Structure 1
């Protein structure tokens, strides 16, 4: 089973890493977020939300243990909620430099029979271990901020 977890495509490539908001080992919560349980739009059993509009600074920092330094395509899952902020502040730290991103609610297009959508944040070179992170905050929010899951997909060489 360990071989499959470390080599799911059976080609020696590095596997994707998925970090959910409830993963206490890989998520650092700052501030008092509301847990939305059994939400139909969540990826998994729940997601976190905040409606303080940035009055009280809050963040969720996704800090996975990366098995190797690599370029990663990073995706954030956005559950659809009424009253969502028009933009979400996201930071990516690559171990040396911080990149600030703002995802507009218009960038989140939910299609089909899902209650949310994966949005690509970009490709970043992240170091091995726990030196890099993705952070979702309520900074400059004008509505409800949601934090659910982050996916780190290693860039694959085109051989």
Structure 2
């Protein structure tokens, strides 16, 4: 039968440290082959199974590490790709935004030009109307003078002059 005991303390014996397990009734020296078969078991396992341990370490543990590492690098690549796509989308959206702003400013400028043209057209119409009214007024004044002259020649000017003076006083 075997007795394998693991240590839970390190004890100093002289100037040498040894691994021990402390119980309530006594202390067991783990490294002493009389108390424990741990040393024999350890050496047998290492001598017998060293190649198996190397193979398992290389084939399983290292492969798992490489797989996880590869997976992490793949995640990193995907993150970089996603950031690149996001930056491209941001640039594209900025271009679209700038084009829409430019288009809107262009439409506003065209609207402003249309308003200015309409305003100029109305101003010209008003100016033409003022000129037409001014010409009609001059024509009316000339016709009135001719009429008054024709009346003064016939003798009705004194009667009409007094009437127009009274009418003018009453109006203003």
TM-score bucket of the superposed structures, by smaller chain = under 0.3
Bigger strand fraction: 1
Larger radius of gyration: 2
More helix by share: 2
Report 1 or 2 for greater relative contact order, CA contacts < 8 Å, sequence distance ≥ 6. Answer: 1
TM-score, structure 1 normalization? 0.16
